[in-house]
Amino acid sequence: MSGLNLDDFATLIERPDAAVRRAAEERGTHRTHPRPGALGRLDELGEWLAAAQGSVPVRPVERPKVLLFAGDHGVASLGVSAGPKAGAAELVRATLDGTSCAAVLARRAGVEVRIVDMAVDCDPAELPAEVTRHRVRRGAGRIDAEDALTLAEAEEAFRTGMAIADEEADSGTDLVVLGDLSVGGTTAAGVLIGALCGTDASVVTGRGAFGIDDLAWMRKCAAIRDALRRARPVLGDQVQLLATVGGADLAAMTGFLLQSAVRRTPVILDGVVTAACALVGQRVAFRAPDWWLAGQRSGDPAQGKALDRMALNPLLDQGVTVGEGTGALLALPLVQAAAALAAELPVGS
């Protein structure tokens, strides 16, 4: 049994301010041009942001941050991923060098990227100290046959995610774009979503961030099937669940999402990995998803299951599977536009 008292989250997490949202809706009805409702979902986004901020008119989103949790997963050794042979370290280096998709988009948007190595399988000296300082371990266990982490490691990773949420809130970050840099992470995500939604392995087995062929898909489906057998007995303890079939990066993201909701920091989710962590977070505190946006629909069947369970409607549908926060970054300008329009369009008396 985990030593973390997750029940506190259900008490501490409140919904975005409903009275403020109603005030934002009322303000929109007095807009002189365009007519109320003409901006479609942008109006809804602006009202959501106002409620999250507790402010009418809504404040511009001026200090967003891209936050990427990194880790390797032992299940990748089964040939379930088409990720780089060098593992997550290669993804981290590409992002640091500015050559990854997320790095290009973040640079174009003028948004800072923060990488947190939780379980990259490389010598920590190969990466900058500010990236590796939170690392819990190298890689994760092969979840079809063994636990990803010890319970103590899962708790450490979860608490690290909470601490990072506090750091970002205290530094003035007003919106987080959340993503992962992982190899094998979509397999772990599929297990978590399958376990929490009570579905068979085939329903939650996707092609992964890098795309896999049919034979690899069958191997991935078998790995998820075997891991689901190990996950179901521990569904009542979310930290134990993350230790059994998750990983340090997923445990940290779950802690981050829950503490961000406590601190009233809005988060844009990326793909299936962040969706899986969010679904675990919803099991802990049912109000927590009110603080999250789904950036885009990737087409991964497990992501679709998780988003439906949380009643999160993706902002975009571009089928971007690459992960790394890319899909969520594509949605960021839409969120910023909604805030600007809600704040700056003229309102009559």
Nearest 5°: phi and psi at 341? -65, -40
Tokens describing residue 282: 């919803």
d(CA 64, CA 301) in angstroms, rounded, equals: 29
Strand partners, 181: 70
d(CA 257, CA 90) in angstroms, rounded, equals: 25
Tokens describing residue 128: 């900058």
Tokens describing residue 318: 């571009």
Q: Where are the beta strands (DSSP E) in 161-295?
A: 175-183, 267-269, 292-294
* Total residue count of the chain as it appears in this document: 349
DSSP state letter for 146: S
d(CA 269, CA 283) in angstroms, rounded, equals: 17
DSSP letters along 33-72, please?
SSPTTTTTHHHHHHHHHHHHHT-SSPPP---EEEEEEEEE
DSSP state letter for 96: H
- Ramachandran category for residue 147: left, alpha or beta (phi over 0 → left; psi -120 to 50 → alpha): beta
CA neighbor of 298 nearest in space, from 278, 279, 325, 280: 325
Tokens describing residue 37: 């409702």
- Helices of type H across 232-311: 238-245, 248-262, 272-284, 301-310
Which member of 155, 156, 168, 324 is catalytic? 324
324 catalytic residue (yes or no)? yes
What residues act catalytically? 324
